[in-house]
């Protein structure tokens, strides 16, 4: 890495994250992606400061970069290999940057460039994907590739990425179990690292997103029973973790009730509709609370 204080590198990364979160409507009307481009420039600066990727990771053949590539595609369990040593640690930090660059390009509708960066992220993490340090980032990268291929209407490719994420989550929870490192912690000082509770919350949210996307993929593939199962699991987890938008949740629950009605499962349909009604009733309360908080600010 170039002779730049590590604290300065971390500051650039955090500034890039802040810019990435700026809502599009807050940018100039003629430059809707202005904040995204500024964030991209900072991420490229951090990437340059970290130095080139380790040769053995950066020069792997493209055939190994597809969904479920490597030993996991053959049904063999991936080994838990921790990224130890400066070379491995640099590879993981570069993977974090590649991930955020990938999301950035997708947000600005440059899908091919976004795909390229996300695939680089997976390539850098391949051997460490089941480790405490890397599992969350690896699943997030695969989830985003699943969404990207779904938007291209390449549903089978999307399915492969998303099912790989689900399998890795299940294997990690079985073999390791402890809440993994959040990717952003790679650029945080030790005293600002997340608590185990917050790590768990963020990782479970990543998995909930995975189930949500799988539900949509199975719906596209007309695997309606499976789609309903994943939709139900998603709704249940969103309630358990208090991570949902009331109107969206209520609509999804009401939609699921129609599936149960068509299957003549009236008790399940009634339960979904009742839950949708209760959650929809929260919308006014939440809006009023947010309005009061806004007036106090």
pLDDT of residue 58: 45
What pTM value is reported for the model?
0.85
User: Residue 25's pLDDT is what?
Assistant: 75
DSSP type of residue 178: S
Pinpoint the alpha helices (H) of 51-151.
Answer: 55-58, 86-107, 111-125, 135-151
Which DSSP symbol is given to 131? S
pLDDT of residue 284: 63
- Contact criterion met (CB below 8 Å) for 137 and 183: yes
| C-alpha neighbours within 13 Å on the C-beta side of residue 193 | 9
Structural element, H or E, at residue 184: none
Pairwise CA distance, residues 45 & 242, whole Å: 37
Q: Judging by beta carbons within 10 Å of its beta carbon (0-12, 13-18, 19+), is residue 204 exposed, middle or buried?
A: middle
Q: What pLDDT was estimated at residue 10?
A: 95
All residues at 6 or more sequence positions from 102 whose CB lies less than 8 Å from its CB, including other chains: 114, 115, 116, 117, 118, 120, 121, 141, 144
- DSSP tag of 64: G
Q: In tens digits, what is the pLDDT along the chain, a chain of 297 residues?
A: 557 899 999 999 999 999 998 887 788 888 899 999 999 999 999 999 999 988 654 444 444 456 655 444 434 446 788 888 889 999 999 999 999 999 999 999 999 999 999 999 999 999 999 999 999 999 999 999 999 999 999 999 999 999 999 999 999 999 999 999 999 999 999 899 999 999 999 999 999 999 999 999 999 999 999 999 999 999 999 999 888 889 998 998 898 888 888 888 888 889 888 989 898 888 765 444 444 444 344
What pLDDT does residue 271 have? Answer: 87
């Amino acid at each position: 890495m170039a002779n730049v204080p590590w604290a300065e590198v971390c500051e650039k990364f955090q500034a890039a994250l802040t810019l990435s979160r700026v809502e599009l409507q807050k940018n100039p009307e003629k430059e809707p992606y202005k904040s995204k481009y500024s964030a991209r420039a900072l991420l490229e600066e951090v990437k340059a400061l970290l130095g080139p990727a380790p040769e053995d990771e950066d020069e792997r053949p493209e055939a190994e970069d597809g969904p479920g590539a490597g030993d996991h595609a053959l049904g063999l369990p991936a080994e838990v290999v921790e990224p130890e040593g400066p070379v491995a640690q640099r590879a993981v930090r570069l993977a974090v940057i590649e991930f955020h660059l990938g999301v950035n390009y997708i947000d600005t509708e440059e899908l091919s460039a976004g795909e390229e960066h996300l695939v680089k992220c997976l390539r850098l993490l391949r051997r460490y994907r089941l480790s405490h340090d890397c599992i969350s980032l690896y699943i997030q990268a695969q989830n985003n590739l699943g969404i990207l291929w779904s938007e291209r209407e390449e549903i089978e490719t999307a399915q492969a990425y998303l099912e790989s994420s689900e399998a890795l989550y299940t294997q990690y929870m079985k073999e390791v179990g402890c809440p993994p490192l959040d990717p952003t912690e790679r650029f945080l000082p030790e005293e600002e690292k997340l608590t185990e509770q917050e790590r768990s919350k963020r990782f479970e949210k990543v998995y909930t997103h995975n189930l949500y996307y799988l539900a949509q993929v199975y719906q596209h593939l007309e695997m309606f029973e499976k789609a309903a199962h994943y939709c139900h699991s998603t709704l249940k987890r969103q309630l358990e973790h208090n991570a949902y938008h009331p109107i969206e949740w209520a609509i999804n629950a009401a939609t699921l009730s129609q599936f149960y009605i068509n299957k003549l499962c009236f008790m399940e349909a009634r339960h979904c509709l009742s839950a949708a009604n209760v959650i929809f009733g929260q919308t006014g309360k939440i809006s009023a609370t947010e309005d009061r908080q806004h007036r106090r600010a």
